[in-house]
Structure formats: structure tokens, C-alpha cells
């Protein structure tokens, strides 16, 4: 039995694995490639130079691979790349990249993307993230692994969101959000660290203790950012198991934009 509904329109140039299922009235363009086990529900439009991996669940009424909302775009062959095992709920809009940056918008593996999420051009989203309803990412945003963004979170262009961080509902990010930090507000401010999320991911007591210590020096001790980073550098010697976590935080802070700064 055919996996493609007879009302779906599939361009002859599209490359779909034989196990891909496409629902009624969906439209798939000539430069689209879709891997094994992926399901595209009804009334979806997938266009542009879009590559979708295996075992994704794409619900109805999605627009994937449309041109960027960038007035400088002039029909360059930019891309949208989606990995494996993602869930993409209704009414999401993911645009291709733009020639002024990487020319690629990307979503990694094992992400849970809820309804009405927007990924603008050149966004880079890692793995194991959760974006609640109406999360909106402007162009060039980078989201690291295991991030959770609460409903109606809005992220300014070029911001970076560190691994294991978390935003509350209606948060507005104008600055880079460091790893592990829980933020809330308009503009967002740091409230705590994502300790419960770390426990659920199997972080040891020693690693969580190091994250607590980093939170203290970064947000509670009244230190400049430079002094806080020096203090953090000592933590790894005291808690060797936490070396990767300390290194990740220091690397993020060193790379933070001096114009935007970090959420503090």
C-alpha cells in the first residue's frame, strides 16, 4: 500500500525513503530529502533545499524550508537541515538560512518542538531540547543541547542559549543565557540554576554542587564577570568530576558577546 496520500503533491525531484508517510494535501518541493520512518501529516508545505532525517514526526499545518524573512535574501540556495527523531507539532515555521551567515538553519536530534514555534534563518538548535508553544527565535540564534524554553519565550537575534538552561513562560531574551541557568522576565533575569533538570539527567551530587558554586560566584557574590571566571577556574581542582561542566561554563562566558553580555 502506498505511503503517500493521493491528494499530496510530491515533486518528481524530491527524494523520499520508501517508508516515509505523507498525509492529505501536503506539498513537498523538488529539493527536499526525507529519511526513513519520517511521517508528514496533512496540509504541510516542505520546500527549499531541505533535508530531514529519520523517524521524525511532523504534525499537520507546518511550513518548513520557506525563504528567510530577510530582505537581503535573493534566491540563494540556502538550506534547512533537520536531524532524527524530532517531534514537530502544529503550525511551526522553520526558514532556510541566509547567505550572510552559515546559509543553513539546523535542528539536531531528539527535540520536542511544540506548536507555533518559529526558527528564523541561520538558527542552530542542538539535541534533546524542548520548545514550548509559541517559542520564537529570531535569526542567527544558537541553542545548545538540553535547553528548555517555556511558552511564549522570545529570543533576540544572535543570542546564544547555553546547555541545560531553562526559561519560564513569557521570557524575553536580549542577552546570552549561560549554561544551567533558569531565567524569567522581560527582559529575562537569572533566578536559579536548573538543578531538577540536572538530577533527571543523572548528574552526580558533586557535579550539581559545582553548578551551585558557579551560580554563587556568577550571581550572588557581587563579582565582575572576569573575577567570577577566575573563581570558577578553581572549582575544577576542588571537584574534578565537574571539570567538563566548569570548562563548558568558562568557554561560554569567554565567547559571550560584549555588546549583548549575559543574562545576570
Q: ω into residue 187 within 30 of 0, thus cis?
A: yes
Inter-residue contact 211 to 195 (CB < 8 Å): yes
The one catalytic residue in 70, 122, 144, 245 is 122
Crossing angle of helices 225-238 and 205-215, rounded to 10°: 160
Q: CB count, 10 Å around CB of 28?
A: 28
* DSSP label at residue 57: E
Inter-residue contact 158 to 176 (CB < 8 Å): no
The one catalytic residue in 121, 140, 164, 215 is 121
User: Can you read off the three cell numbers belonging to residue 145?
Assistant: 543541547
Q: CB count, 10 Å around CB of 224?
A: 8
* DSSP label at residue 77: -
- Alpha-carbon distance of 187 to 48, in angstroms, equals 35
Verify whether residue 101 is a known catalytic residue: no
The one catalytic residue in 83, 139, 150, 162 is 139
Verify whether residue 139 is a known catalytic residue: yes
Please give the order of strands across the beta sheet that includes 154-155. Answer: 9-10, 27-28, 45-46, 63-66, 93-95, 118-119, 136-137, 154-155, 172-173
Verify whether residue 122 is a known catalytic residue: yes
Q: Is 68 in a helix, a strand, or coil?
A: coil
Catalytic center residues: 121-122, 139
Amino acid at each position: 500500500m502506498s505511503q503517500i496520500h493521493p491528494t499530496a503533491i510530491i515533486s518528481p525531484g524530491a527524494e523520499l525513503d520508501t517508508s516515509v508517510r505523507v498525509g492529505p494535501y501536503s506539498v513537498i518541493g523538488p529539493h527536499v530529502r526525507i529519511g526513513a520512518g519520517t511521517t508528514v501529516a496533512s496540509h504541510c508545505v516542505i520546500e527549499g533545499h531541505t533535508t530531514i532525517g529519520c523517524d521524525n514526526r511532523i504534525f499537520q499545518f507546518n511550513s518548513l524550508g520557506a525563504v528567510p524573512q530577510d530582505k537581503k535574501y535573493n534566491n540563494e540556495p540556502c538550506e534547512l537541515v533537520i536531524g532524527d527523531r524530532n517531534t514537530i507539532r502544529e503550525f511551526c515555521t522553520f526558514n532556510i538560512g541566509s547567505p550572510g551567515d552559515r546559509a543553513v538553519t539546523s535542528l539536531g536530534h531528539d527535540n520536542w518542538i511544540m506548536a507555533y514555534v518559529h526558527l528564523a534563518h541561520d538558527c542552530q538548535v542542538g539535541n534533546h531540547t524542548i520548545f514550548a508553544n509559541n517559542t520564537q527565535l529570531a535569526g542567527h540564534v544558537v541553542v545548545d543541547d538540553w535547553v528548555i524554553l517555556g511558552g511564549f519565550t522570545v529570543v533576540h537575534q544572535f543570542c546564544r542559549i547555553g546547555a541545560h538552561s531553562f526559561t519560564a513562560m513569557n521570557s524575553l531574551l536580549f542577552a546570552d543565557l549561560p549554561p544551567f541557568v533558569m531565567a524569567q522576565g522581560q527582559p529575562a533575569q537569572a533566578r536559579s540554576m536548573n538543578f531538577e533538570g540536572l538530577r533527571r539527567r543523572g548528574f552526580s551530587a558533586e557535579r550539581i554542587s559545582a553548578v551551585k558554586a558557579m551560580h554563587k560566584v556568577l550571581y550572588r557574590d557581587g563579582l565582575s564577570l572576569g573575577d567570577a571566571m577566575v573563581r570558577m577556574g578553581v572549582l575544577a581542582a576542588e571537584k574534578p568530576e565537574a571539570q567538563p561542566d566548569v570548562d563548558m561554563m568558562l568557554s561560554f562566558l569567554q565567547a559571550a558577546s560584549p555588546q549583548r553580555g549575559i543574562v545576570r
